[in-house]
Amino acid sequence: MDNSKAAVSFHTIFFLLLFIVVVPFLPLLIAQRWNWGEAWIYALLSIVAFIGSRVLASKRHPDIIAERAHFLQHDNAKDWDRRITILLGVAGTGAMILAGLDQLFAWSPSFTTPMKITALIFMIAGYILSSYALVENRFFSDTVRLQTDRGHKVISSGPYRWMRHPGYTGTIMVYLATPILLDSYWTILPAITLAILMIWRTSMEDRFLQSELDGYRLYASRVRYRLFPGIW
């Protein structure tokens, strides 16, 4: 039992350090441009959004952090979700590396200041939406599974009144704003790849929930749109 808890703790700490602390700073570390303001803003915003959303969510749902700490370790986690999650991690890390290399070798021309400001606003809005979804939904796990051990039920309040997967919508917004804020045309390709992977995950998860979660099919008939109101 203690070994299992230790393994979970090590697993959680490792991924927190890697994806939440190290990866956002990769552009700065690779480019070695310590006066690159946009990269500092991106890294600090990513970390603040992650910590802030988890603190707020844990105050409302104390057990959600424990659920998310078992990242892909649940026995009933879907194999397709494991594969998509790994691809998201690879593409996300690749985007940060590419942004750093782009700055190091000056491959891309700069985006205009108004475009960067717009991207920053878009990114902040994405973080706010995904954080709102996390705080509102105590079943918003990192792993797609039926959480019978936690009394899984449909959540239809907050942003879930407008779309069925608002957390993913916010995440896609962050993905698409990243290349502009980091001044990297080359990062557009992995950003689009990340968005496509998240849309794929949304489609698979929504199909799973409609077939497995009581009441979700009725909820889906009331809230028509998965990610983008008026579109899909």
What average pLDDT score do residues 94-120 get?
Answer: 95
CA–CA gap between residue 71 and residue 156 (Å, rounded): 25
**For the chain, what is the mean pLDDT?**
88
Domain presence at residue 135: yes
Domain presence at residue 230: no
pLDDT of residue 16: 64
Its pTM stands at 0.89
Please give the residue range of the domain that contains residue 57.
Answer: 2-222
Asked whether 123 and 180 are in contact (CB, 8 A), the reply is: no
Q: What is the CATH number of the domain that holds 181?
A: 1.20.120.1630
Give the model's confidence band at 151: pLDDT under 50 very low, under 70 low, under 90 confident, else very high: confident
Q: Which residue has the tokens 């929504």?
A: 206
Q: Give whole-number Cα distances, 212 to 50, 117, 122, 200, in Å.
A: 29, 42, 34, 18
Token representation of residue 22: 């190290």
pLDDT of residue 14: 65
Buried b (16+ CB within 10 A) or exposed e, 27-52: bbebbeeeebebbbebbebbeebbee
Q: Is 4 exposed, middle or buried (0-12, 13-18, 19+ CB in 10 A)?
A: exposed
Name the residue among 130, 9, 128, 20 with its Cα closest to residue 71: 9
* Higher-confidence position of 6 and 155: 155
Q: How many domains does the chain have?
A: 1
Domain presence at residue 231: no
Asked whether 205 and 144 are in contact (CB, 8 A), the reply is: yes
Domain presence at residue 228: no
pLDDT of residue 1: 41
What average pLDDT score do residues 90-95 get?
Answer: 94
Which of 42-46, 51-55, 102-106, 205-209 has the weakest average pLDDT?
Answer: 51-55
Domain presence at residue 8: yes
Domain presence at residue 232: no
What average pLDDT score do residues 56-83 get?
Answer: 77
Which of 19-23, 33-37, 207-211, 219-223 has the weakest average pLDDT?
Answer: 19-23
* Higher-confidence position of 30 and 54: 30
Tell whether the model's pLDDT for residue 74 goes beyond 90.
no
CA–CA gap between residue 159 and residue 228 (Å, rounded): 12
Give tens-digit pLDDT for 161-200: 999 999 999 999 999 999 999 999 999 999 999 999 999 9
DSSP output for 3-65: HHHHHHHHHHHHHIIIIIIIHHHHHHHHHT-TT-HHHHHHHHHHHHHHHHHHHHHHHH-TTHH
Domain presence at residue 162: yes
Asked whether 81 and 204 are in contact (CB, 8 A), the reply is: yes
pLDDT of residue 9: 53
